[in-house]
Amino acid sequence: MAKRSFLIPGVDKRLLIKDSLKTMPDLTRRRFIAGGASLGALTLLTGCDVVDSSSADALLAKISKFNDAVQAYIFNPDALAPTFPESAITKPFPFNAYYELDDAPEVDGEAWKLEVRGLVDNKKSWTLPELTKLPQFTQITRHICVEGWSAIGSWTGTPLRDFLKLIGADTRAKYVWFQCADKDGYNSPLDMRTALHPQTQMTFKFGNEILPRAYGFPMKIRVPTKLGFKNPKYVVSMEVTNDYKGGYWEDQGYNSFSGS
C-alpha cells in the first residue's frame, strides 16, 4: 500500500525517489544559486563591483522579499479557491514529502496533543477528541505543489479562524507558526490574513476517513490559497506571533508567501 500511494500519476517512481533524495537537506543546498551564478552575475549584476554568487544570492533574496510583498498585496481574503465535485478527486491522491512514506511520522493519536502558544488568551493543549468535537466542514479543493503538479482532494475539518477565535488569539498578530512531528522538525509560518481565510482548515479527515498517516495524521493544516509546502502535516503546535520564525523550506529559499 505504501509503495502504491507514493506514486504520482504519470511520474516515474524511480525518478521521484531520486528527486526526493536530491532535495534532502545538505550543505550544497545552501549555495543553491551558485550553479547558475556566473550567468546571473554577468547579466543581472552588470555594473556591480562584486560579481560573485553571494551578491547574486543577496539580490535574488531581495527580489523574493519584494515578491512576498506583491503577493500579500494581491491576496484577496475573500477570494475562494475553486471547489470541485467528488468525481474530480485525484485517485490515488499522491503522498508527497522530502522523505519516503516509511519515514513519515507515526503519531499516536491517543497521546497526541496540540500545543497552543504565543499571543492567545487560552494556552491549553487540545486532545484529538476535543478538537474533532468542533464543527467540521468538507471542501474539495486543488492542492498545488511547488514542483508544478497538482491533485484534487476532499478535506474535512474545522476552519482555522474559528479555532483562533475560540482560543482568543490576537488576530492582529502577523503569523501563525506551525511545528510538526517530522524528524527534522518541519515548521512553517502562515501569515495571519491567510490563517483567517474561510477555507484555511484544521484537517482531520481525508475523503471522509480519518486523515491517513500519509496525509498528516492526526492533523494537517489545509490551505487552498497556498502552495503545498505551506500546508503543514503532523502538526504538534501552533504559535501566534509577530516574529518571522522561518520555516523548513522557506529557510532554504522557497518564497515565504507562496500564495496561489
Partner 1 sequence: MSSLTVTDDQVGTTRAKVIQPIWVRLMHWTNAVAMILMIMSGWQIYNASPLFDFRFSHDVTLGGWLGGALLWHFAAMWLLMVNGLAYLITGFATGRFARKLLPITPAGVIHDVKAALTFKLSHDDLSVYNYVQRTLYAGIILVGVLIVLSGLSMWKPVQLHWLVMLFGDYPTARYVHFFCMAAICAFLVVHVLLALLVPKSLRAMIIGR
Interaction site with partner 1 (CB under 8 A) = 8, 11-12, 15, 19, 22-23, 28-29, 31-36, 39-40, 43-44, 46-47, 59-61, 63-64, 67, 71, 74-76, 79-82, 142, 144-150, 224-225, 249, 252-255, 259-260
Q: Closest Cα partner for 17 from 104, 102, 98?
A: 98
- C-beta closer to partner 1: residue 115 or 147: 147
Alpha carbons 234 and 232: distance in angstroms, whole number = 7
- Is cis: bond before 218, omega within 30 of 0? yes
Phi and psi at 245, nearest 5°, equal -100, 10
> What's the rounded Cα separation, in Å, for the pair 39 and 19?
25
Closer CB to partner 1, residue 2 or residue 79? 79
Smallest gap from residue 52 Cβ to partner 1 (A): 15
> In which residue are the cell numbers 550553479 written?
35
Give least dist CB 148 to partner 1, A.
5
The span from the CA of 17 to the CA of 103, in Å, is 13
What minimum distance in Å lies between the beta carbon of 245 and partner 1? Answer: 19
Asked whether the CA dihedral 146, 201, 192, 218 is positive or negative, the reply is negative
Q: Helix or strand or coil: residue 114?
A: strand
Query: Pick from 95, 93, 94, 111: which is nearest to 103 by CA?
Result: 95
In the complex, minimum distance from the CB of residue 34 to partner 1, in angstroms, rounded to a whole number: 6
Please, which residue, 33 or 236, has the CB nearer to partner 1? Answer: 33
- Least distance in angstroms from the C-beta of 20 to partner 1: 11
Round to whole Å and give the CA distance between 257 and 260.
9
Closer of 93 and 217 to partner 1 (Cβ):
93
Query: Which is nearer to partner 1, 17 or 61 (by Cβ)?
Result: 61
Q: Residue 251 corresponds to which cell in the numbers above?
A: 529557510
Minimum CB distance to partner 1 smaller for 45 or for 119: 45
| CA gap 173, 152 in Å, rounded | 31
Nearer to partner 1, 149 or 171 (CB): 149
- In angstroms, give the least distance from the CB of 209 to partner 1: 26
Q: How far is the CB of 179 from partner 1 (least distance, A)?
A: 21
